[in-house]
Amino acid sequence: MTLMLRTNIKYLIIIQLILCPILLLPQSQIFNTYSENLLGTKLKINMIPIDGNQFKMGSSSKEKGRKNDEGPTINVLIDDFWISDLEITWDLFELFLNREIDKFKPASRKIKLDIDAISGATAPYVNYNKKGYPVINVTQYAASQFCKWLTAKTGNYYRLPTEAEWEYACRAGESGAFSFGNNARKMDDYGWFKKNSQGKIQHGKLKRPNAFGLYDMHGNVAEWVLDSYDAKTYIVWGNGIENPVRKKKGIYPRVVRGGSFKDDINDLRSAARNHSTPSWKQRDPQIPKSLWWHTDATHVGFRIVRPRDEPKMDELDKMWVPPKKEY
C-alpha cells in the first residue's frame, strides 16, 4: 500500500469519526434553517430556528402608543422553535383547498396522520388569490387546519405560534417598540402600513427582515396566534411563566398580532395586540357562519411554527384549534 493511499484512508476515517455523531443525531436535535418542500409541487416553506430564552413580554408604560392590555410587562421563558420566514401565501393555502397533492408523501414520516380524515376548506367567497401574496380572510380554525394538513402531508408537526412565541420572534432580541428599536421613521424599511401601502397588501420579502431573518412581522397582514384575547392576560399569567398560551372556549375574541397594511404605525409595535370581532363576518351569507372565512377580515393572515420538542401522538390536538359550529 502506497504512502499516499494510507494517508487518504487515514483522513477518511477521521472524517467519518467526526461526521457520524452528527448524522446519527435525531432530527429534533438538528436545529438549523431548513425548507419544507411540498412533494408534488415546486413550493416550499422556509423555516427559521429560534433559540428559546427568557424575554420581557409587553410594553413599558412610557412606550409611545402603548395600550393597557400590553401590561404589566412580565418575564416569559420560551422553548426552541422554528417559524416560517414569511406569512403563508395564497399559493400554499390553495394546495390545502384543492388537496390535489395529498397522495405525494415522504417515504418516511415521523408523524403519521390520516390526511384524508382532515377536513378540507370551502372555496373563498371572493377570489383574492395572488401568487406570492399572503392568504387573507382566513379564520383561526382555517389557519390551524392548514397546519394540521401540513403535518399529515410532511410528517413534521406544525401549528400556529402562541402569542408569546410570536412576540419573542418579532422582537428578535430587541426590547424597544419595534424589532429595529424605537425609531418609528425606520418602519418604511421594515413593514407595510397605512402610510406606505397605498391601501393594498404587498408581496412578501419586499422589506428588510428582522434580526432573526423574518419578513413582515410588522405590518402587511395581521397574524393569527393560538391565544384567546383577554385584556388582563399578563396579570393572569404573572411573572416568570414558561411557554404560556391562553385559550378560552368562546369564538370571540381571538388574538392577532403584528398590525397590517391598514393600520397606523403604533399598531405595528412588537407588543401591540389586536383581536377578532363578529364584524369580521358581516357579509357572510351562511347560517351558521363559515368555519373557514372571515369575509370582512381582508387584513388577516398567518404564519406557522414547529416546536423543536414535538408533542407525542396523543397530544397533537392540544395545540390545534378544535372545530365548532362556526368561527
How far is it, in rounded angstroms, from Cα 322 to Cα 309? Answer: 22
In a domain, 15, yes or no: no
- Residue 301, sorted as left (phi over 0), alpha (psi -120 to 50) or beta, turns out to be beta
pLDDT single digits (tens) 181-232: 999 999 999 999 999 999 999 999 999 999 999 999 999 999 999 999 999 9
In a domain, 310, yes or no: yes
Looking only at the bridges linking them, the beta strands covering 44-50 and 81-84 are antiparallel
Q: What is the mean pLDDT of each run of 10 residues along the chain (327 residues)?
A: 43 42 50 96 97 98 97 98 98 94 86 90 77 94 97 96 98 98 98 97 96 98 98 97 95 97 98 97 89 95 97 95 86
From 162, 181, 195, select the one nearest 52 (Cα to Cα): 162
DSSP category for residue 229 = P
Looking only at the bridges linking them, the beta strands covering 222-228 and 300-301 are parallel
What total number of domains does the chain contain?
1
DSSP category for residue 279 = G
Please tell me the total number of residues recorded for the chain in this structure.
Answer: 327
CATH of the domain at 92: 3.90.1580.10
Question: What is the number of other CB atoms lying within 10 angstroms of the CB of residue 2?
Answer: 7
Question: For position 22, what pLDDT does the model report?
Answer: 41
Alpha helices by DSSP H, the chain: 3-23, 90-98, 140-154, 163-171, 187-190, 233-237
Question: For position 130, what pLDDT does the model report?
Answer: 83
Domain range for 77 is 31-319
In a domain, 2, yes or no: no
Cell numbers for 281: 363576518
From 250, 251, 253, 249, select the one nearest 231 (Cα to Cα): 253
Structural contact between residues 232 and 155, judged by C-beta atoms closer than 8 angstroms: no
In a domain, 326, yes or no: no
User: Cis ω on the peptide bond leading into residue 21 (within 30° of 0)?
Assistant: no
Phi, psi of 243 (to 5 degrees): 45, 55
Cell numbers for 310: 414535538
In a domain, 16, yes or no: no
Question: For position 298, what pLDDT does the model report?
Answer: 95
Question: For position 129, what pLDDT does the model report?
Answer: 62
How far is it, in rounded angstroms, from Cα 186 to Cα 205? Answer: 16
In a domain, 149, yes or no: yes
